[in-house]
Amino acid sequence: MFLFSKSSNSSMALRRLQVTWCWFCVLFLRLTVTAAQTNTTVTVTAPTTASFNVIKGPNITKPGCQRQCGNVTIPYPFGIGLNSGCAIGEFFEVNCNTSFSPPKPFIRQYEVTEIDDNHIRFVSTVASSCYDQRGQILENDAFMGVNRTGPFSFSDLNTFTVIGCDDASLVTGYIKNFSSGCVSVCSRAEDVIAGYCSGAGCCQTSYIPRGFKGFFITLNSLQNHSDVFGFNPCSYAFLGERDKFTFRGAADFSDPTFIYRTLATVPVVLDWAIWKSNCSEAQKANDYACHPSSFCVDSDTGFGGYRCICAPGFEGNPYLSPGCQDVNECEDPNTNTCEKICTNTPGSYNCSCPVGYFGDGRKDGQGCIAKNKEFPVMKLSLGLGFGLLSLLMAITWLYFGIKKRKLKNLRKKFFHQNGGVLLKQQVSSNHGGIEPSKIFTAEELKKATNNYAKDRILGKGGYGTVYKGILPNKQIVAIKKSKIMDESQIEQFINEVIILTQVNHRNVVKLLGCCLEEEVPLLVYEYVSKGTLFHHIEHSGMSTWMSWENRLRIAAETAGALSYLHSAALKPIIHRDVKSANILLDDYYTARISDFGASRLVPLDKTQVTTLVQGTLGYLDPEYFCTSQLTEKSDVYSFGVVLAELITGKKPLCMERSKEERNLVTYLIMCMKENRLFQILDPRVLREGSLEQLQQVAELVKRCVSLNGADRPIMKEVAMELEGLRKFTARHPWTINNQQHRDEESIGLMANASESLDLYTVPLSPYSDLVPLSGQYSLESTDA
Ligand SMILES: *[C@@H]1O[C@H](CO)[C@@H](O)[C@H](O)[C@H]1NC(C)=O
Ligand SMILES: *[C@@H]1O[C@H](CO)[C@@H](O)[C@H](O)[C@H]1NC(C)=O
Ligand SMILES: *[C@@H]1O[C@H](CO)[C@@H](O)[C@H](O)[C@H]1NC(C)=O
Ligand SMILES: *[C@@H]1O[C@H](CO)[C@@H](O)[C@H](O)[C@H]1NC(C)=O
Ligand SMILES: *[C@@H]1O[C@H](CO)[C@@H](O)[C@H](O)[C@H]1NC(C)=O
Ligand SMILES: *[C@@H]1O[C@H](CO)[C@@H](O)[C@H](O)[C@H]1NC(C)=O
Ligand SMILES: *[C@@H]1O[C@H](CO)[C@@H](O)[C@H](O)[C@H]1NC(C)=O
Ligand SMILES: *[C@@H]1O[C@H](CO)[C@@H](O)[C@H](O)[C@H]1NC(C)=O
Ligand SMILES: *[C@@H]1O[C@H](CO)[C@@H](O)[C@H](O)[C@H]1NC(C)=O
């Protein structure tokens, strides 16, 4: 604050200055802050310009000296009292005339109105002339001068003003000579406009140079005011502070207090300086006026001299010991820009932030930002966590994706390798009304078998493993997983699959479909619940149902099925592995031939197929074994063995038996020859069957197992013979519901015979369910 500025105008100017300074400050600080963004401490450096520096603070005058004269504060180097020692020198002594009320300060004859760190304001002087109708009455040219060797010179803040309607006035400065003036005329009072000093009733020089020590004012009328006397009898001219005078228009022409008012309100401004030296010289001398924390400025008036200015961030009187004092910017929130913590430093202040905050702490900068200590850690760990998680997920996804893709590709490969395309083609080309074999996916079967769980294994053998599977529609199936698959036989396999799925005989285990997506094709059969005939024969002692009749029925059913396969239209199917273990029994103890894994279709033009010998020891046709010539008769041989098993309840081959008994059929034939059949027959069979029947069956066995295939009957004959035998013995119909009924209770129920044949609702005509094997799946390439 300017201590000496009393008017609102100057404080406004100061404010504007401060604002400018502030902007400058901000700009400067911005730069500083940008340069040291990370530094939480910011030093505010004041600019070196000191135009606004003011003398303020408690120590304005020399200690013990009067501070004020009337309303005017007299700061050192000025001082009140002539020769009092309160001023720095003769020219700075202020005579405070207390005969005025309030007292008035004077330097020489001139009344002082204000002193600041740069200027001193005196009451000015006004030249005036008044005219009567005939001419000049009073003339008063004005003079004002300060000691030409003194420290004062007129400032350029002044301007020269002339009031009148018929006047030309001149101001002449001296020592540094200059002349200036202006003419003010008007013909009517109405032409004069208040506030405008542009030559009509009032004129002002726009510029008065600085540095002159005294001036004269010469006021002249052009026509003795003769034309304007009516409204403008007097004219005035004065030098004074530019902004202080306000022209009030024609009202001023007739105002008798105009001079008084002007003198009271419009001072004349002079620059002052510590005289007779300059900074560099004064610093060398011992009377250097500037005290610590201030710097020296040479006067620009042209007369030499210097002034002292407090250093930035300091205030006080630089001419007085101990010099300028540090401004505590932190005390006044308006003088600092700190948001939280302000630390005063000599000449400046530091902004900082409390613990737990970061930033530059400045309101116009970053300010103080609360740093949540956990936040960065949490953020970091969260980020890391999420990153890791997503990485893990990505890897897992990728892994499984690749695996799945691999699996898919593998399955595709297997599908192709296993002849899937061929099968598909054949299936699609088969537009007969028959349900095509279904191609299961690996996934389906995996689900059905509970991923091939151990508790789902129904059986294991040389061929592979059979699993119990449950399809989504709750259908129970048997899934056969073979061990190996000969690639060269794929086409054949496919054809077999197709044919077998279309074999729709009630005594044949139906092949529901297959799955080619695994390395080894999987076959899906209908599930037959009661196990193998082999098993039942082995445990015949415990099976109450293993009556002669049932044995005969099973034999007949099996023979019928084989006969059906052999004579199946165009392409006979040879089972090749007929044995008791391949005859399954369903819920109703109906025989179901299964395992066509080794089956071969016989091309029409040949009755024999050359093939690798395949079969089970004990059931194997010796002729086929020797010649590798496969015919339907091989199945007949095998069936003969099964028949022998049925009537004897013995295994076809048993190493534990004596040498002659080792091979069942040989032993049976031997027994027949020696007429001691009863020795070998199952006791229950012996008990239940009639002798002729048993002999007939034994005879049938003998014929079936003839070494020469040609001597063997065809399957149809066998089936018919067995049916005949059954009919003959069907006086003991056996059903599931009266299985406790033993042979002794039922005699002569011939009427039931047909019923017993038709135990099941399935039509029984041997060929009624014959598959119309057409050329659609011709086997032109088979055995090529
Ligand atoms: C701030 O800057 C000053 C000077 O450049 C340096 O001495 C000080 O260590 C800095 N402070 C911090 C907190 O970086
Ligand atoms: C005022 O002057 C006295 C005496 O010279 C000095 O002790 C004191 O520190 C000064 N105070 C300031 C604020 O300059
Ligand atoms: C001067 O001071 C008196 C009282 O001390 C006051 O009434 C008056 O208004 C002041 N004049 C100016 C111009 O400040
Ligand atoms: C004060 O002013 C009056 C009137 O102008 C004058 O007579 C007197 O001598 C002055 N006193 C001093 C000490 O200057
Ligand atoms: C100007 O000042 C000088 C030196 O103090 C002095 O000798 C001289 O008389 C003064 N002249 C006037 C007109 O005051
Ligand atoms: C100023 O004017 C006076 C009188 O007219 C003269 O003596 C003096 O030499 C002039 N000074 C300059 C610097 O022109
Ligand atoms: C003005 O008055 C003076 C003296 O009274 C006279 O000499 C002069 O001629 C007058 N000028 C005019 C233009 O009237
Ligand atoms: C200071 O004054 C001396 C002598 O008067 C002069 O030689 C010197 O150039 C001046 N220095 C400045 C900066 O004006
Ligand atoms: C203020 O900041 C400056 C510069 O960064 C440093 O040197 C000084 O020590 C700080 N002062 C205080 C009181 O913090």
Q: What is the DSSP letter of 603?
A: P
Ranges 54-68, 438-452, 586-600, 737-751: which has the least confidence: 737-751
Q: Is 481 annotated as a binding residue?
A: yes
> Quick one: average pLDDT of 153-181?
91
Q: Which of 22, 20, 24, 1 is nearest to 11 (CA)?
A: 1
> Quick one: average pLDDT of 550-566?
90
Say yes or no to pLDDT of 5 above 50: no
Beta strands in 242-298 (DSSP E): 267-272, 294-298
Whether 37 is in the pocket of ligand 1, judged by its Cβ within 6 Å, is no
Ranges 10-19, 132-141, 217-226, 322-331: which has the least confidence: 10-19
The pLDDT assigned to 435 comes to 53
DSSP string, 171-233: EEEETTTEEEEEEEE-SSGGG--TT--BSSSEEE-S---S---EEEEEEEESSTTTTTTTT--
CB 47 within 8 Å of CB 21: yes
CA contacts within 13 A on the Cβ side of 603: 13
Say yes or no to pLDDT of 112 above 70: yes
Listed in sequence order, the residues at least 6 apart from 109 whose beta carbon sits closer than 8 Å to its beta carbon are none
The pLDDT assigned to 266 comes to 95
The pLDDT assigned to 629 comes to 79
Distance 272 CA to ligand 3 centre (A): 25
Say yes or no to pLDDT of 13 above 60: no
> Quick one: average pLDDT of 296-324?
86
Listed by start position, the domains of the chain span: 11-46+339-394, 68-115+274-326, 125-265, 414-527
> Quick one: average pLDDT of 738-755?
36
pLDDT tens digit sequence for 346-355:
888 888 888 8
Q: What residue owns the CA closest to ligand 1's atom 8?
A: 39
The pLDDT assigned to 492 comes to 62
CB 530 within 8 Å of CB 585: yes
More confident residue, 502 or 304: 304
Listed in sequence order, the residues at least 6 apart from 727 whose beta carbon sits closer than 8 Å to its beta carbon are 753
Q: What b/e sequence results for 530-548 when a residue is b if at least 16 CB atoms lie within 10 Å of its CB, and e otherwise?
A: bebbbbbbbebeebebbbb
The pLDDT assigned to 778 comes to 31
Whether 34 is in the pocket of ligand 4, judged by its Cβ within 6 Å, is no
Average pLDDT, whole number, for the chain? 77
pLDDT tens digit sequence for 184-231:
999 988 889 999 999 999 999 988 898 899 999 999 888 888 888 889
- Please tell me the CATH code under which domain 414-527 is placed: 3.30.200.20
Distance 322 CA to ligand 2 centre (A): 6
**Position 7 confidence tier, pLDDT thresholds 50, 70, 90:** very low
Residue 551 tokens read as 């044995």
Helix and strand numbers, DSSP H then E, in the chain: 17, 39
The pLDDT assigned to 593 comes to 87
Secondary structure (H, E, C), 698-715? HHHHHHHCCCCHHHCCCH
Pick the ligand that lies closest to the CA of residue 76: 2
Name the catalytic one among 166, 577, 586, 682. Answer: 577
CA contacts within 13 A on the Cβ side of 676: 6
Ranges 26-30, 90-94, 663-667: which has the least confidence: 26-30
Q: What residue owns the CA closest to ligand 5's atom 14?
A: 147
The pLDDT assigned to 612 comes to 62
Say yes or no to pLDDT of 387 above 60: yes
CB 185 within 8 Å of CB 261: no
Q: Name the CA dihedral angle for 471, 477, 483, 489, rounded to a multiple of 10 degrees.
A: -100
% of the chain residues with pLDDT over 70? 76
Residue 326 is among the residues annotated as catalytic for this protein: no
The pLDDT assigned to 746 comes to 35
Query: Mean pLDDT highest for which of 195-199, 458-462, 477-481?
Result: 195-199
Secondary structure (H, E, C), 350-389? EEECCCCEECCCECCCCCCEECCCHHHHHHHHHHHHHHHH
Q: What residue owns the CA closest to ligand 4's atom 10?
A: 97
Distance 578 CA to ligand 9 centre (A): 106
More confident residue, 601 or 92: 92
More confident residue, 164 or 604: 164
Residues with CB under 6 A from ligand 6: 174, 177
Listed in sequence order, the residues at least 6 apart from 175 whose beta carbon sits closer than 8 Å to its beta carbon are 148, 212, 213, 214
Q: Name the CA dihedral angle for 284, 287, 290, 291, rounded to a multiple of 10 degrees.
A: 100
Listed in sequence order, the residues at least 6 apart from 626 whose beta carbon sits closer than 8 Å to its beta carbon are none
Distance CA 22, CA 12 (A): 15
Coil, strand, or helix at residue 339?
coil
> Quick one: average pLDDT of 322-337?
84
Whether 149 is in the pocket of ligand 5, judged by its Cβ within 6 Å, is yes
| Tokens 């009092």 sit on residue | 84
Q: What residue owns the CA closest to ligand 2's atom 6?
A: 322
Distance 281 CA to ligand 8 centre (A): 7
> Quick one: average pLDDT of 500-523?
79
**Position 758 confidence tier, pLDDT thresholds 50, 70, 90:** very low
The pLDDT assigned to 437 comes to 60
The pLDDT assigned to 570 comes to 62
Ranges 126-130, 613-617, 637-641: which has the least confidence: 613-617
Coil, strand, or helix at residue 680?
helix
Q: What residue owns the CA closest to ligand 9's atom 5?
A: 41
| Tokens 């599977």 sit on residue | 469
Ranges 238-242, 281-285, 563-567, 602-606: which has the least confidence: 602-606
Say yes or no to pLDDT of 623 above 50: yes
Residue 575 tokens read as 């089972």
**N-term to C-term CA, the chain:** 120
> Quick one: average pLDDT of 475-502?
72
Q: Which of 508, 54, 568, 575 is nearest to 316 (CA)?
A: 54
The pLDDT assigned to 328 comes to 86
The pLDDT assigned to 63 comes to 87
**Position 79 confidence tier, pLDDT thresholds 50, 70, 90:** very high
For 160, list phi and psi in degrees, rounded to 5: -105, 130
Pick the ligand that lies closest to the CA of residue 98: 4
Q: Which atom number of ligand 1 is nearest to the Cα of residue 40?
A: 13
| Tokens 């400025």 sit on residue | 297
